[in-house]
Amino acid sequence: MLIIKEERMFRIIAYILLICGVVITLIPFIYMISASFKSQIYTFEYPPRLIPRDPTLENYIKVLGKDLFGRNFLNSLFVATATTISTIFISSLMAYAFSRMRFPGKEVFFYILLLGMMIPPVMLIIPQFVIAKNLHLLDSLWGLIVVYVSITLSMQTFLLRSFFETIPRELEEAVLVDGGTRWVIFRKIILPLSKPGLAVVAIFTFLYAWDEFPWAHVAIKEASRRTLPVAIALFQSQYLTRWGLLFAATTVASIPVIIVFVIFQRYFIQGLITSGLK
CA 272 vs CA 60, 156, 188: distances in Å = 43, 21, 12
CA 150 vs CA 153, 191, 225, 270: distances in Å = 5, 22, 21, 32
Q: How many CB atoms sit inside 10 A of residue 200's CB?
A: 19
- For the CB of residue 63, give the shortest distance to other proteins in the complex, in Å: 13
- For other proteins, give the closer residue by CB, 32 or 77: 32
What residues from 48 to 67 belong to the interface with other proteins (CB under 8 A)?
48
- The span from the CA of 229 to the CA of 236, in Å, is 12
| Residues linked to residue 241 through DSSP beta bridges, in sequence order | 236
Binding letters toward other proteins, positions 10-49, x by CB under 8 A: xx--xx-xx--xx-xxxxxx-xx-------xx--xxxxx-
Tell me the three state secondary structure of residue 95: helix
Options 54, 71, 115, 209; binder of other proteins; rule CB under 8 A: 115
What residues from 201 to 260 belong to the interface with other proteins (CB under 8 A)?
203-204, 207, 211, 213-214, 217-218, 221-223, 229-230, 232-234, 236-240, 246-247, 250, 254, 257-258
Q: How many residues bind other proteins (CB under 8 A)?
A: 134
* Residue 189 interacting with other proteins (CB under 8 A): no
What residues from 116 to 135 belong to the interface with other proteins (CB under 8 A)?
116-120, 122-133, 135
CA 161 vs CA 29, 190, 239, 254, 276: distances in Å = 33, 11, 48, 29, 19
Binding letters toward other proteins, positions 159-178, x by CB under 8 A: x--xx-xxxx----------
* Residue 158 interacting with other proteins (CB under 8 A): yes
